[in-house]
């Protein structure tokens, strides 16, 4: 389920020996290309190469600390803007590759407290837009790669507030995809947020990851020509949270998935296999909670799909375990846990409640400590309401 962040095969890393003078290298081939390269200070290095028609490149570096920009554009009417100002550095690096037409890329690493930061944008095709802002960012790494033709994709990464070793990567193939990553780290607590979004489709989809704190890991996929109308959100506050959303199926249409976690040591997972009009949400507050939602078709089948399934898991407390696995149509499950050490499972597993069939409804509410519910509904039109409470604190 996990995927690697920013592998060396994705982006070309360049090693440079910095001199104590500024160096600018410009190469342009074609017609109507423009370049504006500005450097002030020392140990600044910029290389710009443009081949084609009406491409535009603007770079600005103002610092006495070593920094480097490498920018290459091939095609027509591509635009790229890079800023490393305000005494940023040392060892900031920006790399942009654009091949196609009408692509736009912008990177801003202009902050005195931005150093050892790296930003990579690689766009191939038409009408893609990518922006990266790394301000008050220490040791942060951000990467965006977009491919496809048509109306293009949009991606944005923001990493700030003294981030340390953040890694954010957005890969989008096709068109009509929108993705955003916002991460706040904390250098004093060795923050190490990671985020990953991968959308592969020609249909409209949106995905966003917001992480505030330390040791959070995101991950949203939405691939295999899923869509249109899919939306996925991961929102994490705290430390050591992990979240996962999939929705990776060509039959996943107009589905919504969200994960909100506040606290420590939370985990969450949402898949929604081949879901149409599916809705899944997980909200966890506290420590060491675990939640899982399946939904849609049986994951072993490639011929069936689920329609209109809805699942909601809400946990508030410590060491709670809850999940729901639904396949069929129009099933609804709502699981709520308040307290510590509560478990919701089925007859054969403590990992998730099970509903199989059509028009089943399940509502489970646990309040207290150390409560256990095992639920399994198979068939049509079943309804279960389970309420548990304990006198333990």
Tell me the pLDDT tens digit for each residue of 70-123.
999 999 999 999 999 998 889 999 999 999 999 999 999 998 888 999 999 999
113-117, 129-133, 176-180, 324-328: lowest mean pLDDT where? 324-328
Give the tens place of pLDDT for each residue, 242-255. 999 988 677 778 88
Q: How many Cβ atoms sit within 10 Å of the Cβ of residue 383?
A: 11
Query: Strands 92-101 and 118-126, how do they pair?
Result: parallel
CA distance between the termini of the chain:
36
- pLDDT value for 77: 98
Number of domains, the chain: 1
Residues composing the chain: 393
> Cα–Cα distance between 393 and 387 in angstroms, integer?
17
Q: How many Cβ atoms sit within 10 Å of the Cβ of residue 385?
A: 10
Handedness of CA 14, 15, 17, 19 (dihedral sign): positive
Side-chain-side CA neighbours of residue 234 (13 Å): 31
Q: Which residue has the higher pLDDT, 317 or 69?
A: 69
Average pLDDT over residues 352-371: 74
Domain ranges, residue 110: 18-154+166-177
pLDDT surpasses 90 at 133 = yes
């Amino acid at each position: 389920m996990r995927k690697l962040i920013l592998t060396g095969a994705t982006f070309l890393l360049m090693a440079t020996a910095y001199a104590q003078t500024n160096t600018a290298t410009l190469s342009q081939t074609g017609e109507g290309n423009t370049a504006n390269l500005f450097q002030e200070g020392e140990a600044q290095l910029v290389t710009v190469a443009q081949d084609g028609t009406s491409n535009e490149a603007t770079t600005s570096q103002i610092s006495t600390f070593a920094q480097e920009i490498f920018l290459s554009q091939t095609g027509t009417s591509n635009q790229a803007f890079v800023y490393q100002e305000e005494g940023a550095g040392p060892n900031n690096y920006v790399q942009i590759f654009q091949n196609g037409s009408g692509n736009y890329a912008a990177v801003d690493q202009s902050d005195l407290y931005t150093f050892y930061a790296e930003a990579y944008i690689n766009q191939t095709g038409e009408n893609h837009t990518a922006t990266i802002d790394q301000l008050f960012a220490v040791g942060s790494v951000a990467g965006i790669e977009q491919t496809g033709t048509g109306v293009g994709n949009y991606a944005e990464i923001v990493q700030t507030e003294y981030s340390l070793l953040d890694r954010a990567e957005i890969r989008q193939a096709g068109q009509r995809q929108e993705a955003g990553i916002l991460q706040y780290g904390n250098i004093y607590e060795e923050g190490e947020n990671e985020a990953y979004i991968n959308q592969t489709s020609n249909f409209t989809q949106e995905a966003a990851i917001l992480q505030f704190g330390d040791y959070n890991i995101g991950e949203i996929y939405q691939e295999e020509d899923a869509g249109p109308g899919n939306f996925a959100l991961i929102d994490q506050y705290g430390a050591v949270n992990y979240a996962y959303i999939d929705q990776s199926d060509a039959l996943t249409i107009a589905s919504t998935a969200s994960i909100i976690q506040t606290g420590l040591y939370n985990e969450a997972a949402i898949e929604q296999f081949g879901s149409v009009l599916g809705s899944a949400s997980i909200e966890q507050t506290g420590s060491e909670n675990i939640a899982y939602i399946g939904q849609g078709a049986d994951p072993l089948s490639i011929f069936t799909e689920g329609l209109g399934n809805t699942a909601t898991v809400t946990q508030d407390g410590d060491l709670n375990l809850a999940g729901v696995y639904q396949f069929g149509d129009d099933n609804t499950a709502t699981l709520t846990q308040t307290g510590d050490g509560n478990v919701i499972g089925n007859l054969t597993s403590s990992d998730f409640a099970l509903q199989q069939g059509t028009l089943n409804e399940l509502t489970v509410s646990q309040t207290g400590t150390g409560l256990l519910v095992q639920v399994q509904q198979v068939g049509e039109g079943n309804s279960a309401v389970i309420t548990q409470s304990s006198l333990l604190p």
